[in-house]
Amino acid sequence: MSVAAVDPGRDKCGLAILSLEGEVLFHEVVATKCLVEKLCQQREVYPFQIIVLGNGTTSAQAKQRIQRALPAVELLVVDMGYPPEFPQAKF
35 contacts 6 by C-beta, under 8 angstroms: yes
What confidence tens digit (pLDDT) does each residue in 27-65 have? 999 999 999 999 999 999 999 999 999 998 899 999 999
| pTM value > 0.75 | yes
Pick the closest to residue 43 from 65, 69, 63 (CA basis).
69
